[in-house]
C-alpha cells in the first residue's frame, strides 16, 4: 500500500449531495425502538421473577444503548418529516437513556456539540472525547453528568416549558429512588435500570464520542471534514454493532440523514469527500490518507460516482403573468398569520418555478397583494404566509374565509432578493429579519443549506413574543438538522426591547463580525432595514453585499416633489410593442396600464420589483428603489412604477 500522506489536489467537484431526505416515517427506527422495548421488558420480567440478574443487566443495558439511537435521530428530526413523531419517539426513548435530562434539553445540548465539536470551552461532549487516558472510564460512565452543568449554565437561553419538564423529570427520578430505598426495593431498581443505564452510558460515550473524536484537534468551524472521523474495515461487523456510527463523519456533515443511510450517503459521493482530506482511520485506529483510502477501494474494485447537487431553476415566464391556481391547504402558523399552499397544475410547473427569496402577487376582486414564497426552491411547492392586518381586505379574507379548493389569481414569481448560489461556495450569510420578513429569508435559508453544503448561515429574527414568531418550529427543526452551519438568534422585543443601534453594535462586535460575513440580507420594517443598512456601511460593509427586501417603500408624499415632463413611452410586453403618451407627473407604469391592463405590477412603492423592465431607449429618473441591485441597474433595468422620463421618448421592454 502507498505511504503517500498528502491529500489529492481537489478537482473542484460539486460538494457532496447526501442524496437522502428525511422519510415520512422511519421503519428501521420503529423496529429498533420496538426491539429495545422488548429486550427491556424481558430483562425486567426476569428480574421481577428473581431469575438471572446478570442476564437482566445485559439485556437492559443493550436496550438502553439501542434507545440512544432513537433519541439521537429524533433530536435531528430524522425519524419522520412530521415533527410530533420525532417528539414522541424522543421523549419515550429518553426516559430509558438518562434520568437527568429531558429530551428537548438533550436536543439543545447535542446541537451545541455539533456546533462546537472539539472546542474545549463550548463542546459539551469534550468531557468524554478528550481527557487523560486514566480518567476516561470514569468520564464515560458519568457522561450525562456534565450535561446537567452545561444545561444549568444555559438556563436563561432555554424555553420555560423545557426547563420545567427537565426539572419535573429529575424530581420524579429522585422520588423513585427515595421510594425504592424506603420500601427495600432499591436493589431491584439497580438491577433493572441503574446498573444497565451506567453500562450503556459507558459504551455510548466510548462509541459515539471518544472513538469518532479523540485525537482530532480541529473544531467543526475550522474544518468540518476533520472534526470527526469515519472508520473503515470490518464494516460487516462494526456497522450493525455501532449502529452505523463508524461513519460518524457522515452524521456531522449531514445531521438530518437517518443513521441507517450513513453508509449509502458516503458511498454516493465518496470521491468528492476524499478530495477534502477527511479524517479516516481503520477499525484498529490506523490513520488513512485519502490516497490510501482510494487505493484500498480500487483493490476492492468499487467504482466511485460523484453526483452533482441539483440547482433550482427560474420561472420560464418572460414576465410576470397571472394564472388561476387552486388552494391546496390553508393552515394557521400563529394566531394572526396563515400559511397558504397552492396546487400548481403540471402544465404551469415551469412558469411557477422560483428562485429563493422571490415573491408572487395574489389578486382577488381587483385587490393585489405581494407575498414572498416561503418554501425552499429545491421543492415543487408554492406557498405563502399571510399576516393578518386588522381591516386589511385580502389578509382578513385569508384569515377568516379562505379554504382549500378556493381559486385565486396568482402571478408568476418575481424578485431578486437572493444572491446566486453555487455548490462550491463556502460563504457566511447573515439575515436580519423582523416579523413576516422571515418569509423570503426562510426560503433562502432552506435552499442555501441544501445547495451549499459548506456555507454557514446566521439568522437574527425579531418578534414581539415567542408565540408571535412565525415558523418557530420550522426554524428549530432547521437548526437541529444543520447544527454546525446554522445559528438562529431570537430577539423578542417584549423581553429585551426592539433592535436598536446598541444591539446591532453588540452583534457586529462578536456574533456576526463584518469581516467574517460574505452577504447580508435585511427584511422587515423600513425603519429597521435602513438603520441596519446604515450601521453596516459605517462598519465598512460594501453596500453591494447588503441586500434589502421591503414590503412597502416610503410614502411618496414624504418624498421631495419634482417637476416631470410629458413624453412618449413605447413598451414591449408578451411580444407586442405599443406606444402611448405620458402626461407630466405620470410614471411609466401608469402610462402603460392605460393601454395594457395586464402590465405586471404589485406594490407601486418601489419595494417588490414586479414592474421591472429594461430601459432600451431614453432616460428616466426613479423616485425610490428598494428592489433592484447594482447589477440590475448596471444592466439597464428600472422600476416602471417609480420611473419618470427625462427625455422626450422612452422605450422599455418587460420581456427582457
Q: Where are the domains positioned within the chain?
A: 1-17+228-308, 27-216, 322-411, 428-549, 558-653
Q: Which residues contact 505 (CB under 8 A, 6 or more apart)?
A: 535
Task: State residue 15's pLDDT score.
Answer: 64
Helix axes 53-75, 103-115, angle to 10 degrees: 60
Whether residue 212 is predicted with pLDDT greater than 90 in this model: the reply is yes
**Within 10 Å of residue 346's Cβ, how many Cβ atoms?**
7
- CA–CA gap between residue 249 and residue 224 (Å, rounded): 9
- Domain at 558-653, CATH homologous superfamily: Beta-grasp domain (3.10.20.30)
Phi, psi for residue 382 in degrees, rounded to 5: -110, 115
Please state the separation of Cα 596 from the chain's center in Å: 42
| Greatest mean pLDDT range, 38-47, 464-473, 538-547 | 38-47
Q: Percent helix, strand and coil across the chain, each rounded to 5?
A: 40, 20, 40
Whether residue 651 is predicted with pLDDT greater than 70 in this model: the reply is yes
Task: State residue 268's pLDDT score.
Answer: 86
Q: In the predicted model, what is the mean pLDDT of residues 238-245?
A: 89
Each residue of 483-499: pLDDT tens digit? 889 999 999 999 888 99
Which has more pLDDT, 380 or 223?
223
* DSSP state at residue 246: G
- CA–CA gap between residue 173 and residue 408 (Å, rounded): 55
Residue whose C-alpha is closest to residue 492's, from 85, 244, 160, 33: 160
Phi, psi for residue 56 in degrees, rounded to 5: -60, -45
Phi, psi for residue 58 in degrees, rounded to 5: -65, -45
**Lowest mean pLDDT across 262-271, 282-291, 334-343:** 282-291
Q: Yes or no: say if 372 and 422 are a contact pair by the CB < 8 Å rule.
A: no
Residue 290, C-alpha cell as written in the block = 485519502
Q: In the predicted model, what is the mean pLDDT of residues 316-340?
A: 90
Say if strands 279-282 and 229-232 run parallel, antiparallel, or are unpaired. parallel
Q: Which residues contact 95 (CB under 8 A, 6 or more apart)?
A: 169
- CA–CA gap between residue 185 and residue 339 (Å, rounded): 54
Task: State residue 454's pLDDT score.
Answer: 86
Whether residue 307 is predicted with pLDDT greater than 60 in this model: the reply is no
What are residue 429's DSSP bridge partners? 457, 519
- CA–CA gap between residue 584 and residue 569 (Å, rounded): 12
Per-residue confidence band for 516, with pLDDT thresholds at 50, 70 and 90: very high
Task: State residue 303's pLDDT score.
Answer: 33
Q: In the predicted model, what is the mean pLDDT of residues 153-157?
A: 90
Q: In the predicted model, what is the mean pLDDT of residues 145-152?
A: 89
Q: What kind of fold does domain 428-549 have according to CATH?
A: Rossmann fold (3.40.50)
pTM of the shown model:
0.71
Whether residue 128 is predicted with pLDDT greater than 80 in this model: the reply is yes
Task: State residue 143's pLDDT score.
Answer: 86
**Lowest mean pLDDT across 249-258, 355-364, 548-557:** 548-557
Task: State residue 262's pLDDT score.
Answer: 92
Task: State residue 237's pLDDT score.
Answer: 85
Whether residue 105 is predicted with pLDDT greater than 70 in this model: the reply is yes
**Within 10 Å of residue 498's Cβ, how many Cβ atoms?**
15
Please state the separation of Cα 113 from the chain's center in Å: 17
Which has more pLDDT, 301 or 554?
554
* DSSP state at residue 514: G
CA distances from 323 to 26, 221, 439, 460, 601 (A): 38, 46, 22, 35, 14
Task: State residue 422's pLDDT score.
Answer: 84
Residue whose C-alpha is closest to residue 43's, from 68, 64, 29: 64
Whether residue 627 is predicted with pLDDT greater than 80 in this model: the reply is no
Q: In the predicted model, what is the mean pLDDT of residues 298-309?
A: 44
> Is residue 636 classed as helix, strand or coil in its secondary structure?
coil
Task: State residue 556's pLDDT score.
Answer: 55
Task: State residue 308's pLDDT score.
Answer: 46
Whether residue 365 is predicted with pLDDT greater than 70 in this model: the reply is yes
Whether residue 239 is predicted with pLDDT greater than 90 in this model: the reply is no
Q: In the predicted model, what is the mean pLDDT of residues 601-612?
A: 78
Q: In the predicted model, what is the mean pLDDT of residues 301-314?
A: 50
Whether residue 444 is predicted with pLDDT greater than 90 in this model: the reply is yes
Task: State residue 603's pLDDT score.
Answer: 72
Whether residue 550 is predicted with pLDDT greater than 80 in this model: the reply is no
Task: State residue 11's pLDDT score.
Answer: 46
Say if strands 649-653 and 637-639 run parallel, antiparallel, or are unpaired. unpaired
Task: State residue 294's pLDDT score.
Answer: 67
- CA–CA gap between residue 344 and residue 328 (Å, rounded): 9
Q: Check if CATH label 2.40.30.10 holds for domain 322-411.
A: yes
Q: What is the mean pLDDT of the chain?
A: 87
> Is residue 547 classed as helix, strand or coil in its secondary structure?
strand
Q: Yes or no: say if 412 and 358 are a contact pair by the CB < 8 Å rule.
A: no
Per-residue confidence band for 29, with pLDDT thresholds at 50, 70 and 90: very high
Amino acid at each position: 500500500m502507498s505511504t503517500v500522506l498528502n491529500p489529492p489536489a481537489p478537482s473542484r467537484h460539486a460538494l457532496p449531495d447526501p442524496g437522502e431526505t428525511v422519510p415520512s416515517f422511519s421503519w428501521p427506527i420503529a423496529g429498533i425502538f420496538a426491539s429495545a422495548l422488548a429486550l427491556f421488558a424481558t430483562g425486567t420480567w426476569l428480574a421481577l421473577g428473581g431469575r438471572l440478574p446478570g442476564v437482566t443487566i445485559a439485556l437492559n443495558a443493550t436496550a438502553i444503548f439501542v434507545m440512544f439511537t432513537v433519541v439521537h435521530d429524533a433530536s435531528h428530526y430524522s425519524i419522520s418529516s412530521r415533527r410530533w413523531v420525532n417528539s414522541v419517539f424522543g421523549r419515550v426513548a429518553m426516559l430509558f437513556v438518562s434520568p437527568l435530562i429531558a429530551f428537548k434539553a438533550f436536543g439543545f445540548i447535542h446541537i451545541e456539540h455539533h456546533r462546537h465539536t472539539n472546542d474545549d470551552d463550548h463542546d459539551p461532549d469534550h468531557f468524554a472525547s478528550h481527557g487523560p487516558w486514566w480518567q476516561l472510564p470514569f468520564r464515560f460512565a458519568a457522561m450525562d453528568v456534565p450535561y446537567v452543568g452545561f444545561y444549568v449554565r444555559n438556563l436563561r437561553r432555554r424555553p420555560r416549558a423545557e426547563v420545567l419538564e427537565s426539572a419535573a423529570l429529575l424530581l420524579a427520578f429522585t422520588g423513585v429512588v427515595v421510594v425504592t430505598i424506603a420500601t427495600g426495593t432499591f436493589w431491584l431498581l439497580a438491577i433493572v435500570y441503574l446498573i444497565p443505564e451506567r453500562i450503556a452510558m459507558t459504551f455510548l460515550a466510548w462509541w459515539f464520542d471518544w472513538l469518532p473524536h479523540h485525537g482530532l484537534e480541529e473544531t467543526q468551524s475550522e474544518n468540518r471534514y476533520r472534526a470527526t472521523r469515519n472508520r473503515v474495515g470490518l464494516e460487516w461487523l462494526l456497522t450493525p454493532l455501532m449502529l452505523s456510527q463508524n461513519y460518524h463523519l457522515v452524521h456531522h456533515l449531514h445531521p438530518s440523514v437517518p443513521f441507517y443511510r450513513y453508509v449509502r450517503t458516503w458511498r454516493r459521493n465518496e470521491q468528492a469527500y476524499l478530495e477534502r482530506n477527511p479524517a479516516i482511520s481503520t477499525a484498529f485506529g490506523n490513520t488513512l490518507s485519502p490516497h490510501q483510502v482510494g487505493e484500498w477501494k480500487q483493490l476492492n474494485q468499487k467504482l466511485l460516482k460523484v453526483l452533482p447537487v441539483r440547482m433550482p431553476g427560474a420561472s420560464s415566464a418572460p414576465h410576470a403573468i397571472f394564472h388561476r391556481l387552486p388552494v391546496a391547504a390553508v393552515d394557521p402558523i400563529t394566531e394572526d398569520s396563515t400559511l397558504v399552499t397552492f396546487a400548481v397544475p403540471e402544465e404551469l410547473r415551469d412558469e411557477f418555478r422560483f428562485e429563493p427569496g422571490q415573491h408572487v402577487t395574489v389578486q382577488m376582486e381587483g385587490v393585489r397583494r405581494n407575498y414572498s414564497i416561503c418554501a425552499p426552491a429545491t421543492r415543487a411547492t408554492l406557498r405563502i404566509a399571510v399576516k393578518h392586518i386588522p381591516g386589511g381586505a385580502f389578509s382578513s379574507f385569508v384569515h377568516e374565509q379562505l379554504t382549500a379548493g378556493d381559486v385565486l389569481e396568482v402571478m408568476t414569481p418575481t424578485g431578486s432578493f437572493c444572491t446566486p448560489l453555487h455548490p462550491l461556495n463556502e460563504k457566511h450569510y447573515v439575515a436580519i429579519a423582523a416579523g413576516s420578513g422571515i418569509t423570503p429569508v426562510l426560503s433562502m435559508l432552506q435552499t442555501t443549506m441544501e445547495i451549499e453544503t459548506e456555507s454557514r448561515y446566521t439568522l437574527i429574527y425579531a418578534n414581539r413574543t415567542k408565540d408571535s414568531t412565525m415558523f418557530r418550529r420550522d426554524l428549530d427543526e432547521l437548526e437541529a438538522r444543520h447544527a454546525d452551519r446554522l445559528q438562529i438568534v431570537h430577539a423578542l422585543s417584549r423581553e429585551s426591547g426592539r433592535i436598536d443601534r446598541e444591539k446591532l453594535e453588540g452583534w457586529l462586535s462578536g456574533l456576526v463580525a463584518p469581516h467574517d460575513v460574505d452577504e447580508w440580507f435585511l427584511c422587515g420594517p423600513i425603519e429597521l432595514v435602513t438603520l441596519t443598512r446604515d450601521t453596516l456601511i459605517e462598519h465598512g460593509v460594501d453596500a453591494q453585499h447588503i441586500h434589502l427586501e421591503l414590503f412597502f417603500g416610503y410614502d411618496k408624499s414624504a418624498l421631495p416633489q419634482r417637476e416631470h415632463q410629458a413624453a412618449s413611452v413605447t413598451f414591449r410586453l408578451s411580444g407586442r410593442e405599443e406606444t402611448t403618451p405620458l402626461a407630466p407627473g405620470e410614471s411609466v407604469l401608469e402610462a402603460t396600464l392605460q393601454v395594457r391592463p395586464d402590465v405586471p405590477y404589485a406594490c407601486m412603492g418601489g419595494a417588490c420589483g414586479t414592474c421591472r423592465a429594461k430601459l432600451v431607449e431614453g432616460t428616466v429618473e426613479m423616485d425610490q428603489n428598494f428592489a433592484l441591485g447594482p447589477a440590475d441597474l448596471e444592466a439597464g433595468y428600472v422600476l416602471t412604477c417609480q420611473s419618470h422620463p427625462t427625455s422626450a421618448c422612452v422605450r422599455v421592454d418587460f420581456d427582457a
